């Protein structure tokens, strides 16, 4: 392996940083200096990019780097016991490297394995359904010299439900090339018309019509255009895109090919989150198969002028890169900070050229519509949102996994199908989505009612709401890019208010302040992260009033009676006594 990475363009920076991270277990000083010299930028600028991403380390992180998922589902599934087991087995405290330099032990946000918790990544390979005994066996095997690849788990797909009577869209036999060949016969305008008739919405949570995005890119007068698949599935509790890439990556590639055929793009990228690095091999094999079959490359299926190829761009651990403009910044070798909304990506996207950005499920659904026909798609769902939706269901239920539902399924039916009992609350669409009580059971999951981009986390009545909300808040504080004050400062202030609630030092005015700060964040934050970070907190206050009545005081006098001067000064007294 060469000792240095020859970088030709700033957009190769993430690949270069991964080269040094893989080679050394961290990014050494000489690598920073070399990359700065090659790109003719300051070392500080390279440092700024490195520090933005969770999986890039600037000091040795151990021969084997362990990342334990710290999402709320893992916390409830036994995080503390697994943490203790790793610390005992490796000799490394959380956030540190053991004295021998063999193991680095860290925590990370949701890794897309919520249906198989507790879970961890070791050298970015998955280990699921961890127990203390399993942890000790894993570490023993690594100490004995076994490779991580040899002992890691293969995450199961857990496809629990899809509509009967042939109404499934996603989980049916797939034959590569059928959708593409039909597209070449009917032409790009007809492809757009098919997607329009199907009313296909983007499946990432914004629900923007797919045909409008593709049409906008098609209409741009530019020779250089791009198709980007957002496979940075980072919303806590979501794993549907992982399952699609595991089971039917060809559907994804074919969807990207359809977008290229419609828009005239010649280059495509799959921006794959680092937590899914173990899927690279499967995706690369499918890309190679498509090239061999004549579906990728020059003159695809013999059509003059239809040239298109796909590469994988590996991310490095940043939730905010799920936002499409932050993702594009990351692909250009920058910090993944969302761009000001001056232009749509279809106008000025990657390298300031027209770019279509859709997620895995959206491209996959487009493939199925062209393959099966609009009528098959629209016979399911509702009048305004036809078709099916993939949901990642996890938490307190008997059958966690993937559920392909028809848009419009009542929430209560989903809870019954997954075996949820004694439910307190359901989180739809991740921490930035909808937190609802079981009184919403008759409400329907659809873009017009209960919106859900894919994550369904179920909490029973043994769970504490405030613990859930504080976990969400810590997640947003950590994942905020920090570029705008409303998000950076707002999330911190929310954390202080939540802490007051936990300490039972809050009254009703504190709840009013939470509402005020949430309104400010929604109005002034630069991107969706800050705008939606307070959602679950405010929804909890509004939808679970009895809970908050029980943890807030009515008046200040009651709070003063709860104050204990001796407890408040205990640490000070202990220190001063030692100094006397």
- The string of pLDDT tens digits covering residues 487-516 is 999 999 999 999 999 999 999 999 999 999
Identify the structural domains of the chain with CATH numbers, from first to last.
10-52 (no CATH), 64-151 (3.40.30.10), 178-378 (3.40.50.11540), 391-458 (3.10.20.600), 465-551 (1.20.1440.230)
The answer on pLDDT for 75 being more than 90 is yes
**pLDDT number for residue 560:** 55
The predicted model gives 195-206 an average pLDDT of 93
Give the three-class secondary structure for 401. strand
Q: How far apart are CA 351 and CA 36, in angstroms?
A: 20
Tens of pLDDT, residue by residue over 363-410, are 999 999 999 999 999 999 999 999 999 999 999 999 999 999 999 999
List, in sequence order, every beta strand (DSSP E) within 273-329: 309-314
Q: What does the alpha-carbon distance between residue 444 and residue 384 come to, in Å, rounded to a whole number?
A: 13
pLDDT number for residue 558: 57
pLDDT of residue 575: 80
Q: Among candidates 421, 416, 412, which has minimal Cα distance to 450?
A: 412
Helix/strand/coil (H/E/C) assignment for every residue in 524-561 = HCCCHHHHHCCHHHHHHHHHCHHHHHHHCECCHHHHHH
Residue with tokens 């392996």: 1
pLDDT at 567: 78
* pLDDT at 571 (0 to 100): 80
> Phi then psi for 241, rounded to 5 degrees?
-65, -35
Query: 204: pLDDT confidence band, cut at 50, 70 and 90?
Result: confident
pLDDT value, residue 568: 76
Q: What is the mean predicted confidence (pLDDT) over 93-116?
A: 97
Residue 341's pLDDT is 85
Place 206 in a pLDDT band, splitting at 50, 70 and 90. confident
* Predicted model pTM: 0.93
* Portion of the chain with pLDDT greater than 90, in percent: 91
Averaged over 272-298, what is the pLDDT? 98
pLDDT at site 205: 80
The average pLDDT across 18-33 equals 97
pLDDT at 557 over 70: no
Tell me what percent of the residues of the chain surpass a pLDDT of 70.
97
pLDDT for 572? 79
């Amino acid at each position: 392996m060469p000792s240095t990475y020859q970088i030709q363009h700033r957009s190769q920076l993430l690949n270069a940083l991964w080269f040094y991270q893989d080679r050394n277990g961290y990014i050494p000083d000489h690598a920073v200096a070399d990359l700065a010299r090659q790109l003719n930028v300051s070392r500080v600028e390279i440092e700024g990019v490195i520090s933005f991403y969770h999986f890039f380390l600037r000091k040795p992180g151990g021969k084997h780097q362990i990342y334990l998922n710290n999402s709320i589902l893992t916390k409830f599934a036994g995080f503390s016991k697994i943490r203790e087991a790793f610390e005992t087995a490796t000799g490394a405290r959380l956030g540190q490297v053991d004295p021998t330099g063999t193991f680095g032990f860290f925590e990370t946000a949701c890794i897309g394995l919520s249906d198989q918790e507790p879970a961890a990544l070791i050298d970015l390979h998955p280990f699921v359904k961890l127990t203390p005994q399993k942890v000790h066996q894993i570490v023993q095997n690594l100490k004995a010299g076994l490779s991580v690849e040899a002992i890691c788990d293969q995450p199961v797909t857990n496809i629990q439900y899809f509509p009967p009577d042939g109404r499934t869209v996603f989980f049916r036999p797939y034959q590569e090339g059928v959708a593409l060949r039909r597209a070449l016969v009917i032409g790009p305008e007809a492809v757009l018309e098919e997607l329009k008739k199907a009313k296909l919405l983007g499946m990432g949570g914004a629900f923007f019509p797919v045909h409008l995005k593709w049409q906008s890119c098609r209409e741009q007068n530019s020779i250089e255009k791009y198709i980007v698949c957002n496979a940075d599935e980072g919303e806590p509790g979501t794993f549907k895109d992982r399952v699609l890439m595991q089971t039917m990556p060809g559907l994804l590639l074919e969807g990207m090919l359809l977008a290229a055929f419609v828009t005239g793009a010649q280059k495509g990228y799959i921006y794959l989150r680092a937590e899914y690095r173990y899927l690279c091999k499967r995706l690369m094999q499918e890309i190679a198969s498509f090239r061999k079959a004549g579906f990728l490359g020059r003159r695809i299926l013999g059509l003059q002028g239809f040239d298109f190829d796909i590469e994988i761009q590996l991310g490095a651990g940043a939730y905010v890169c799920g936002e499409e403009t932050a993702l594009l910044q990351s692909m250009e070798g920058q910090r993944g900070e969302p761009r000001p909304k001056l232009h749509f990506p279809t106008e000025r996207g990657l390298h300031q050229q027209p770019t279509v950005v859709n997620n895995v499920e959206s491209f996959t659904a487009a493939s199925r519509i062209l393959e099966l026909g609009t009528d098959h798609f629209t016979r399911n769902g509702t009048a305004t949102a036809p078709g099916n939706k993939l949901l990642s269901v996890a938490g307190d239920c008997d059958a966690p996994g993937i559920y392909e539902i028809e848009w419009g399924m009542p929430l209560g039916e989903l809870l019954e199908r997954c075996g949820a009992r004694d439910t307190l609350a359901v989180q739809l669409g991740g921490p930035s989505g909808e937190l609802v009580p079981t009184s919403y059971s008759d409400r329907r999951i659809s873009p017009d009612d209960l919106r859900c981009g894919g994550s369904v986390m179920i909490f029973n009545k043994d769970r504490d709401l405030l613990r859930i909300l504080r976990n969400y808040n810590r997640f947003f504080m950590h994942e905020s890019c920090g570029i705008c004050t409303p998000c950076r400062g707002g999330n911190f202030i929310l954390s202080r208010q939540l802490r007051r609630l936990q300490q039972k030092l809050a009254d009703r005015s504190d709840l009013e302040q939470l509402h005020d700060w949430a309104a400010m964040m929604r109005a002034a934050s630069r991107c969706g992260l800050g705008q939606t970070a307070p959602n679950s907190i405010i929804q909890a206050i509004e939808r679970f009033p009895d809970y908050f009545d029980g943890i807030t005081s009515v008046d200040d006098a009651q709070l003063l009676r709860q104050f204990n001067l001796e407890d408040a000064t205990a640490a000070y007294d202990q220190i001063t006594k030692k100094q006397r």
